[in-house]
Amino acid sequence: MNEAPLNGTEMDSRDQEREDDIHYGLSDETIQEIKESLELGLVEHIRQTVAELHSADIADLIEQLKPKHRSMLLEIADDLMEAEVYSDLDEAVRDDLVEEMEPAEIAELVTELDVDDAVHVLEDLEEDEQKDVLKELPAEDRIAIEEGLAYEEDTAGRLMQRDLIAVPEYWNIGQTIDYLRDTDDLPNEFYEIFVVDPRHHPIGTIPLDKAMRNQRSVPVKDIMQREQKLIPVDMDQEEVAYLFQQYRLASAAVVNDNGALIGMITVDDIVDVINEEAEEDILRLGGVSEDDLFGTIFETTKTRFTWLLVNLFTAVLASIAIGLFDTTMEKVIALAVLMPIVASMGGNAGTQTLTVAVRALATRELTANNMFRILGKEALVGFLNGCIFALLIGIVAWLWFSDPTIGWIIGVAMVVNMLVAGVAGMTVPITLDRFEIDPAVASSVFVTTITDIIGFVAFLGIASLVLL
């Protein structure tokens, strides 16, 4: 560890306080307290509590309250909240609040935000409303935001900050430091200084710690890192996030089509993107198109409906497959009793494989290069587990219905379906990915339809051949 020598002797009571204070995030007690205070109309108490909260925690507080309490809180303490509260809010909640505001109010809010956050708030508005708000903005802000909105959603252009430090390569560290000291309107936070050529193309970068360690006389050119990852302004945010993760970047320069430096992206914005993308995959795999926790009942019913409709269709397909064997079942009702087991096990094994595949496609671990090797592995894994479970369920079925034939019929069907599950669980996501359909969305419906139908048909089909 590197430490400056500590010679002082004074003791300080602040520490004591701070140590007892290590509790982060908004506590349930605070929320409860605010709820009760709102009911009781304890305006001053509420204002005092809110004033002590971090803007991110205020956003959480608003999310946790019911709509009536949200409005009350804003009426009482809106002036105590920084504009950042709005950019931290869940989209559904923010939309509700912003809907109640006049264009002029939204404009006022937006001018207080960084351009990237402002764009984030405005991009959710209806086009008409967006125009009304833009009209209310000072020219400078309006131009910056319109420029931001002109980039496609989920691209580097929407993520980047326009404020950055760029210096020419013939400067030295001293000039750079003086420039920093003399300029008022600097970015909020930055970790590196960009070095640009006369055409404003980035040619190198100096991490701040490196700049600080060098003497004033050292030329920028001598210590800059020439290798840097440049981000084209239209790069998809998922790709940007990949870049930051792969190369452990703290920040990176964004360039336009001509290669000129027009912005920078810092890793804290990427943290949000990584979260968003992971959340998207989790929700989509679960058959939910978006985070609808804070949506209204009607909205949520609607967002869940489509997926359920697709599943109704596939469930009916499976029933039609079962219907082909109705006479067999009529004769041996044990088949109807046991039939869901094979389908269910296939569905679960298929889901395991497709989950690994979807994740590996997202992290680029599954590629054209190892796809066949891994497909072969999954088929074998399915076959092996199929054999084990065939044995288990075979014995159970035999003992249950006192009939060894039922036992080996369900065993064979199990092996077949688990093998199919392994193959389908890998092939379906890879194929969807090839056709540029998000494998997180559609894989599970395809795979479980396959394992359901194969499960029912294999079991009932073999039974028909053997028992009739």
Residues 95-124 that bind a second copy (CB under 8 A): none
Q: Does 183 interact with a second copy (rule: CB under 8 A)?
A: yes
- Closer Cβ to a second copy, 122 or 206, answer by number: 206
Q: Does 135 interact with a second copy (rule: CB under 8 A)?
A: no
Q: Does 312 interact with a second copy (rule: CB under 8 A)?
A: yes
Q: Give SS3 for 22.
A: coil
Q: Does 402 interact with a second copy (rule: CB under 8 A)?
A: no
Per CB under 8 A, contacts with a second copy among 352-371 are 352, 354-356, 358-360, 363-370
- Closer Cβ to a second copy, 130 or 385, answer by number: 385
CA distance 401 to 189: 72
Q: Could you tell me which of 87, 262, 155, 137 has the C-alpha nearest to residue 146?
A: 137
Sign of CA dihedral 63, 66, 67, 70: negative
Per CB under 8 A, contacts with a second copy among 408-447 are none
Residues 6+ apart with CB under 8 A from 187: 161, 163, 164, 165, 264
Task: Choose the binding region for a second copy from 75-83, 131-139, 350-358, 427-435 (rule: CB under 8 A).
Answer: 350-358
- Closer Cβ to a second copy, 93 or 133, answer by number: 93
Q: Does 6 interact with a second copy (rule: CB under 8 A)?
A: yes
CB 114 within 8 A of CB 146: no
Contact mark string toward a second copy, 22..61, x via CB under 8 A: x-xx--x--xx--x------------------x-xx--x-
Burial class (CB in 10 A: 0-12, 13-18, 19+), 94: buried
Residues 6+ apart with CB under 8 A from 216: 172, 173, 174, 177
Instruction: Work out how close the CB of 101 gets to a second copy at its nearest, in angstroms, rounded to a whole number.
Output: 23
CB 201 within 8 A of CB 228: no
Task: Choose the binding region for a second copy from 45-53, 123-131, 133-141, 380-388 (rule: CB under 8 A).
Answer: 380-388
Task: Determine which helix (DSSP H) or strand (DSSP E) holds 55, and give its type and residue range.
Answer: helix 55-64
Instruction: Work out how close the CB of 113 gets to a second copy at its nearest, in angstroms, rounded to a whole number.
Output: 14
Q: Does 151 interact with a second copy (rule: CB under 8 A)?
A: no
- Closer Cβ to a second copy, 109 or 440, answer by number: 440
Of 39, 82, 330, 468, the residue at the interface with a second copy (CB under 8 A) is 330
Of 42, 80, 149, 180, the residue at the interface with a second copy (CB under 8 A) is 180
CA distance 129 to 148: 17
Task: Determine which helix (DSSP H) or strand (DSSP E) holds 390, and give its type and residue range.
Answer: helix 371-401
Q: Does 281 interact with a second copy (rule: CB under 8 A)?
A: yes
Instruction: Work out how close the CB of 104 gets to a second copy at its nearest, in angstroms, rounded to a whole number.
Output: 28
Task: Choose the binding region for a second copy from 40-48, 103-111, 124-132, 158-166 (rule: CB under 8 A).
Answer: 158-166
Q: Could you tell me which of 426, 417, 315, 321 has the C-alpha nearest to residue 372?
A: 426
Q: Does 211 interact with a second copy (rule: CB under 8 A)?
A: yes
- Closer Cβ to a second copy, 105 or 201, answer by number: 201
DSSP 197: -
Beta-strand ranges (E) seen in 317-404 are: none
Q: Do the strands 251-255 and 261-266 form a parallel or antiparallel pair, or are they unpaired?
A: antiparallel
Q: Could you tell me which of 136, 142, 179, 186 has the C-alpha nearest to residue 161?
A: 186
Instruction: Work out how close the CB of 108 gets to a second copy at its nearest, in angstroms, rounded to a whole number.
Output: 23
Instruction: Work out how close the CB of 199 gets to a second copy at its nearest, in angstroms, rounded to a whole number.
Output: 7
Q: How many residues bind a second copy (CB under 8 A)?
A: 166
Q: Give SS3 for 262.
A: strand
Instruction: Work out how close the CB of 425 gets to a second copy at its nearest, in angstroms, rounded to a whole number.
Output: 10
- Closer Cβ to a second copy, 74 or 144, answer by number: 144
Instruction: Work out how close the CB of 63 gets to a second copy at its nearest, in angstroms, rounded to a whole number.
Output: 6
Q: Could you tell me which of 230, 233, 239, 210 has the C-alpha nearest to residue 222?
A: 210
Per CB under 8 A, contacts with a second copy among 234-253 are 239, 242-250
Of 74, 223, 315, 462, the residue at the interface with a second copy (CB under 8 A) is 315
Of 76, 119, 145, 165, the residue at the interface with a second copy (CB under 8 A) is 165
Q: Does 219 interact with a second copy (rule: CB under 8 A)?
A: no
Instruction: Work out how close the CB of 102 gets to a second copy at its nearest, in angstroms, rounded to a whole number.
Output: 28
Q: Could you tell me which of 78, 119, 116 has the C-alpha nearest to residue 97?
A: 78
CB 190 within 8 A of CB 263: no
CA distance 361 to 432: 11
